[in-house]
Amino acid sequence: MTTSFADRLTDLVAARGPVCAGVDPRPGALPAGLDAVAWAEEAARLLGPRVAAVKPQLAFFDDDWAQVERVARAARAGGALVVADCKRGDIDSTAEAYARRILGPESPFDAATVNPYLGRDALAPFVRWAARGGKGLFVLVRTSNPGAADLQSLRVVGDDGRPAETVAERVARLVDEVGASHHGASGRSLVGAVVGLTAPVDVVARLRALMPDAPFLMPGWGAQGGGVEAYRAALDARGGGALVSASRSLTLPWEGAAPADWQGRVVDALARMRTALG
């Protein structure tokens, strides 16, 4: 039997801490002699044995799946889970093609970020493919960017008699519903949520109440200013269930050109992050 994504994530967080390393190569900051893919592979090899998850962002690889899969395989060699940060979402037939490509048996990815705004039928193929292969999803619920409030904080009235709630809260209910039949032995679901560390603490706590069993992927650490208070508010009743993602502050922790000892600087940044998270 395939071990569930949620159980593998739970075990890795317990062993290594709740850190997800975002691998976003930025040309001006890369070490001399390494292009984007070569650096990303080196960073994934370095962090793969040290963190719970590695998250390459496809946009920084020109949406070239072959390049990103090289990075994924380097990270998996160290035992980390790999999240494809692709934020896909489309009508059901197109979503089926995306889901098969990203989460199918030939793919080295363990999970993907997905956009829920086309609705339940657009999420369904991702859930099916993830369940089939012991993989997972992180659905965009409350993102970390400043413009998140433009839509996600709007209040809507449902047609089922519930009081008005925010768009993010409605999406959270959807995440909980579609993940309800996909729990692992840990009690957590394969359907997780992206909830930014930059969200107000009370918002994070409310979303956790609506998604008690969803793993949270929490971007916004470091450069975006997210803090430990939001992380603590995201912890579930079992005392875990949250994965904190850092990109620039972890994998490129310097200004300007990369130093010769860039790998040591990355390891030091990871140690500081773990200490800050407690």
Task: Show the domains of the chain with their CATH numbers.
Answer: 5-277 (3.20.20.70)
Lowest mean pLDDT among 53-57, 143-147, 178-182, 222-226: 222-226
Tell me the pLDDT of the chain averaged across its residues: 94
- Tokens standing for residue 126: 């991702």
Q: 240-268 burial string, b = 16+ CB within 10 Å, else e?
A: bbbbbbbbbebbbbeeeebeeebbebbee
Q: How do 136-142 and 242-246 pair as beta strands?
A: unpaired
- Tokens standing for residue 260: 């010769």
Give per-residue pLDDT as tens, 88-139.
999 989 999 999 999 999 999 999 999 999 999 999 999 999 999 999 999 9
Give per-residue pLDDT as tens, 137-162.
999 999 999 999 899 999 988 767 77
Does residue 228 sit in helix, strand or coil? helix
Rounded to whole angstroms, the Cα distance separating 255 from 180 reads 44
The pLDDT assigned to 2 comes to 59
Under 8 Å CB-to-CB from 217, ≥6 apart: which residues? 20, 55, 83, 113, 138, 192, 193, 194, 195, 243, 245
The pLDDT assigned to 157 comes to 84
The answer on pLDDT for 270 being more than 50 is yes
Does residue 6 sit in helix, strand or coil? helix
Catalytic residues: 87
